Structure 1
Amino acid sequence: MKLKATMAAAIMLSTMAFSTTASADTFTLGRTILLEAKNSHAKIPVPLCRNTKSIQIKAERDVFLTKVVFKFQNGSSRVFQFQRKLDKNEKTDWRRFSYERCVTDIQVHGRAEDGSAGIKVLGRR
């Protein structure tokens, strides 16, 4: 009986360890609000260089997302094209950089469906 309880506790602890590890790798790179119903862009300055291998965009309100431009510490940049509507709390798929990059600036291009739309940019190592 004691062996079964110990095994059950060990399995639960290992499951909890894996679930916290997966979510610990995801972090917020920045947030912004897109204003107006026309095409516009918003800048997200990243105060410290944040190393990330892939990104995901989450819409906090309805938005039509066209593209996101990432600038890196070495001066280069990367553009991800989306051209799609995101509903409230909808996320894009994870988009990967070639290798771990140091993000210093983000530009989100798109238009708000209801006058303003919140955008959250997530990073993952």
Structure 2
Amino acid sequence: MAGITAAVLSLTSCAEKKEASAEGDQAIDTTAITADTTAIEADTVAATTAPTEEAAAETITATGKVTEINKGKDGYSATLQAEDGKTYTATISIPNMTDPKKYRSVAIGDKITVTGELHDTFIVVRDLK
């Protein structure tokens, strides 16, 4: 049944193309347009994903009070008001932990110490105390 449906659709589309040609309309070669667009998209992707020299992430240990929690699919993000007055967003998830057994949930108001890689104000937590 599926084969018959595919054949009918194929013949119908061919008939529509022939009718357009018979009326004097010009056929447009869409394969050339698609190829050009693909080339442009590939160049754009290559330009945006080219390897760049980045400084190694700084390792930081921050202690502070949890002021906000946002649940994620692999863990959560905790906003941490550090003792030095800075605010960090700590990404805490089992896959990122050096020792996954140290993963635990925290609550707003808990005082925690995190160690991890600092990226601007975001800490990818490797250890949680």
Same structural fold, with TM-score higher than 0.5 when normalized by the shorter chain: no
Give the shorter-chain TM-score range.
0.3 to 0.5
Judging by fraction of residues, say which structure has more helix.
Answer: 2
Highest Rg: 1 or 2?
2
Normalising by structure 2, we get a TM-score of 0.32
Higher relative contact order (CA 8 A, sep 6+): 1
Normalising by structure 1, we get a TM-score of 0.33
Judging by fraction of residues, say which structure has more strand.
Answer: 1
